[in-house]
Amino acid sequence: MPPGEDTGVTPEEPVTAGSPGADGPGAVVEAPRTADEEVAELVGKLAQPGDIDGAERRRLLGRLTQALVRGGKKAGESGAGRGRWLADVFMAVAPRIPIRDAATLSEHHHGLTGELLADDLVRTAAKATMAVGAIGGAVAAAEFAAPPLLLSAPAQLVAETLVVAAIEVKLIAELHEVYGDVVPGSGTQRAIAFSVAWSKQRGVDPLAPGTVSLAIGAAAKTALRNRLMRTLGRHLTTLGPFLTGAVAGGALNRAATRRLGAAVRADLRKRRELPGPRNPG
């Protein structure tokens, strides 16, 4: 992990049955991961825009889809688009999204700072969400030609939605770092604040009641659920023949991420101006 990076996650400790390093009764036995932990791990990997090539992204997205299906089959029981379940899954994922501080961001983006660094963050996030939409659309296009396989499409769309939401929440959090508007609190508290900001498609409002909280309120959870459902609805465009879904899914994701980046930066500029030229687009 790069210096200064705060994932908001406490490292998991193995369950020790005896002395470390021994076999048999004295071996260290790791606790089995829950479905939520597996989903969170996979989404966390997919939310790191610059570190994954296309083949690896497809593989991880496939594993995420399978993990969602195994997670009690809630998607099948209540419909993949049931917002309450989707919001619960995302809130289990959000504290595990890796967030870099300003110094680490600059190091990872070739020494850029200020507005130029913010430009690059938005560009990289938009490229990542476009790739997720295009990969999902291509898979859905193949499934369109084989109707029996469409049974897996709803879970695939949920997987895409979770990944895109995670990339965009990460973008919001890291833009706050770049603009020096650091949100206080624990990893979970900050995750809630950035998730609520994502649901509103704005920057974090430091004056809003309960901005830093240990629990997400009913109104905020409803807003998050609605935003996730709108994102899921956008991914329904991937269910088309040939590669129309891939093109539509990628383009819509990219445009939405760029709009989000512009809105968040406009909010942050009200509190602090950064050096460097502004990108009008």
Report whether pLDDT(243) > 50.
Answer: no
Q: Which of 145-149, 194-198, 222-226 has the lowest mean pLDDT?
A: 145-149
Q: Whole-angstrom distance between the N-terminal and C-terminal Cα of the chain?
A: 32
Distance CA(246)–CA(142), nearest Å, equals 10
As a dihedral over the C-alpha atoms of residue 86, residue 190, residue 38, residue 85, rounded to 10 degrees, the angle is: -10
Q: Reduce the DSSP state of residue 15 to 3 states and report it.
A: strand
Q: What is the pLDDT of residue 83?
A: 76
Residue pair 109/103 in contact by the 8 Å Cβ criterion:
no
Average pLDDT, stretch 148-167? Answer: 76
Residue pair 241/230 in contact by the 8 Å Cβ criterion:
no
pLDDT tens figures, 17-67: 333 444 444 444 445 567 778 898 999 888 886 667 878 888 888 888 888
Average pLDDT, stretch 267-281? Answer: 74
Token digits of residue 32: 């089995």
How far is Cα of residue 136 from the mean position of the Cα atoms in its chain?
Answer: 15
* Among 49, 37, 54, residue whose Cα is nearest residue 95: 37
User: Following DSSP, what letter does each residue of 163-209 receive, concatenated?
Assistant: HHHHHHHHHHHHHHHHTT-PPPS-HHHHHHHHHHHHHHTS---TTST
Token digits of residue 235: 């991914």
Q: What is the pLDDT of residue 280?
A: 56
Average pLDDT, stretch 194-205? Answer: 94
Residue pair 158/187 in contact by the 8 Å Cβ criterion:
no
Taking each helix axis from N to C terminus, what angle separates 54-70 and 35-46, rounded to the nearest 10 degrees? Answer: 160
Q: What is the pLDDT of residue 51?
A: 65
* Helix, strand, coil % over all residues of the chain, rounded to 5: 65, 0, 30
- Write down the pTM of the prediction: 0.78
Burial class (CB in 10 A: 0-12, 13-18, 19+), 88: middle
- Tokens 């240990």 belong to 214
Distance CA(268)–CA(180), nearest Å, equals 9
Average pLDDT, stretch 137-141? Answer: 50
User: DSSP letter at 28?
Assistant: E
Q: Reduce the DSSP state of residue 16 to 3 states and report it.
A: strand
Residue pair 46/58 in contact by the 8 Å Cβ criterion:
no
Residue pair 96/194 in contact by the 8 Å Cβ criterion:
no
